[in-house]
Structure formats: structure tokens, C-alpha cells
Amino acid sequence: MTPFDYARASDVGDALRRGKAPATAYLGGGTNLVDLMRETIARPTSLVDVTGLSDEIRRTDGGGLSIGSAVRNTALAEHREVRAHYPMLTRAILAGASAQIRNMATVGGNMLQRTRCTYFYDTDGSRCNKRQPGSGCDAIGGFDRGHAILGASNSCIATHPSDMCVALAALDAIVHLEGSRGARMLPFVDLHRLPGEHPERDTMLEPGELITAIELPPLPFGANSTYRKVRDRASYAFALVSVAAAIEVEDGTVKDVRIALGGVAHKPWRASKAEAALRGGPANVAAFKAAAEAELADARPLRDNGFKIGLAVRAMTAVLGELAGVMA
Ligand SMILES: Cc1cc2nc3c(=O)[nH]c(=O)nc-3n(C[C@H](O)[C@H](O)[C@H](O)COP(=O)(O)OP(=O)(O)OC[C@H]3O[C@@H](n4cnc5c(N)ncnc54)[C@H](O)[C@@H]3O)c2cc1C
């Protein structure tokens, strides 16, 4: 591990001032960053602890929720308003990691956790363009069972690991940022990148930029939402495929719908094609399956992960059917 110094930021301004120094990283709960430092994948020489920033969850004037970046994952999952109005978010968070890790992990840190691609972690023997740009990718042509089927590139086939982020993508969340050029807001679906030629860049954040909050707009039918995670074992495993969805059905017709997928791409995958296919159409199993197939039409299976395409179609169909109350 590279030696580092540590400071706890007293407020956003203090964090930004300290965050300007070279080789500085913000520290949330440390449940991902410290592992990466132990493996020498991340080598910051200064850590700025941002767990003292806002840990408030409050109603916005528009009727949504504003969630401070230092809110712990457990607190967010358990919050009364979240459970009542955005149950998919509660379920997504509780599907991840363990109770101990969720107690430590922050909202800001969860959003910026890095891929679990085993080649990314294998510093001894594997090439990885994400870890070392331009070095190559041993996952391509390697054991790729857990890798991406959508949006991958010739440089990287890693997937995004977060469960929480899949729900945030479906919920049209907005990320609040502060940086050297001031404050800005970014739609959550634009926070993470597809790998392209630069898989070393996970997000659209500028160097030193700080996540201060995440905002959930009101979703009138959000109470009718859920998250389903399909994985190799019941706990302590990342998603092979996951689905976050909310649906509003009136007189047998889909009035509105939100869907996002996890475990399939370098970023949480908003299923816009499926949503467009469903809006205004019948709320039945055949329509849900057709919409899921439309979303997966561009999927490109690798050697070991072709099963994810059918799995994603079945998981989406089942989740939508369950929410619409039309399962056989
Ligand atoms: C054994 C194990 C199992 C796990 N299983 C799952 C799982 O099934 N599903 C899942 O979703 N996750 C899982 N995780 C990952 C876990 O959810 C993340 O480690 C956690 O959410 C990261 O949050 P943190 O606050 O600890 O982040 P940290 O490790 O502190 O930071 C992560 C990154 O975020 C940056 N950062 C932190 N806060 C800010 C901020 N405010 N602004 C800008 N940058 C910031 C840091 O610089 C760092 O780059 C697992 C982790 C472990 C160790």
C-alpha cells in the first residue's frame, strides 16, 4: 500500500480545497477504495474523508427527495419515505454486499465504486485497460461469464457492479456536484460512461469534483416498483443480471413505466427501448416479453455469457408481470 495522509473535510469548501491537490482521493466508507489501495490499483497519497458532509435525507420543494452524499446505504434503504415511495431503491440497496458493509458505505462512494472484473483486480498476471490504459484486456477471450453483453468495446467488457445505481438509473435521479468551476447537476444516467477507447474513465466527473447529493424526482407510481437481482448465490455476490422497474397500469394499458438493468453493461443500463415499446400498449406477459427482447436485440454475447440475454429477458418479463399483477 502506498503511504498516504488523511484529513477529514469540515465542509464542501474544505473538501474541494483539499481535493485539488494531486493524487488526492475522497474517502467515503472506504469499503471499495481501501481494498483498491491495498491491491495498489489505487495509489492516492492523500485521502480527504467526506463522511462529515451532508447525511440528510429531506423532501424537496418539488415533492421528491434530496439525499446527502454521506448518507450511509443502510440509512437510505431504511428511510420511511424511500420505502414508501421508491421501494425499488430499498430493495436494490439491501440486495448488495452485507449489513456491515452497507452500514459503512455512503451514497457518494456507492455511485463511484469500481468494477469487479477479476482481470481488473489481478495486478500480478492480467492486462487491463481500465487499470493500466493501453495495456490490453485479458478478459476479452478470457473467462467472461460475468461480463457485459451491451455497450462493450474492444478495450473493455467490464460491468458496473452497483445495485443501488440500477435503481437510481430507473428513477431518473439527478446528481449534484461541486467542483473548481462551481456547482452543476447531471442526470444520473449520464454519470457513468460506456468504455469506448477510454475504459479507465468510469464517469463524466471532472478531476476533484465532489458528489454532494442525489435527488430523486417524485414518481407518482414509484410505490409500485421493485428490484430483482439474479446471482450465483443468495448473498455476497454481484448481479449476473438485475432489473429495477416501476409500472403504472390503467384499464389493462401501460400508462407509464421505468426500467433499468444491472450486470449487463459498463454502466447501469436504462432500458429506454423497452419503455418506449410498452407505453400505451397492453399490460400483458406477451407485451412485456416482446419489450424485453427489443431491449436486448443489440446484445452481443461473449464466449461464456450468452445465457445473460435470455436471463435478462426472463427477469424483465417476470418483474413487469409481477408489478402489473398479470403473471400466470
Ligand atoms: C465483500 C463485498 C461485497 C460487496 N457486494 C456488493 C453488492 O453485491 N452490490 C453492490 O452494489 N455493492 C457491493 N459491494 C460494494 C459496496 O457497495 C461499495 O464498496 C460501497 O458502496 C462503496 O461505498 P463507500 O462509501 O465505502 O466508498 P469508498 O470506498 O469510500 O469510495 C469509493 C469511491 O468513491 C469516491 N467517493 C466517495 N465519496 C465521494 C464523493 N462524495 N464525491 C466524489 N467521490 C467520492 C472515492 O474517492 C472512491 O473512488 C461489495 C463490497 C464488498 C467489500
Q: Is 146 in the pocket of ligand 1 (CB under 6 A)?
A: no
Q: Tell the residue nearest (CA) to atom 43 of ligand 1.
A: 210
At residue 327, the pLDDT reads: 77
Q: Which residues contact 9 (CB under 8 A, 6 or more apart)?
A: 15, 18, 48, 49, 50, 52, 53
Closest C-alpha among 223, 151, 238 to residue 189: 151
pTM: predicted TM-score of the whole model, two decimal places? 0.98
Which pLDDT band holds residue 126 (cuts at 50, 70, 90)?
Answer: very high
Whether 112 is in the pocket of ligand 1, judged by its Cβ within 6 Å, is yes
What band does 7 get if pLDDT is binned at 50, 70 and 90? very high
**pLDDT > 60? residue 328:** no
Mutating to test ligand 1, I would choose from 16, 26, 114, 166 the residue with most ligand atoms within 8 A of its C-beta, which is 26
What's the gap in Å between 152 CA and the centre of ligand 1? 23
At 257 the three-state DSSP class reads: strand
Average pLDDT score over the chain: 97
* 88 ligand 1 Cβ < 6 A: no
Q: Is the C-beta atom of 115 inside 6 A of ligand 1?
A: no
Give the distance from CA 74 to its chain's centroid: 16
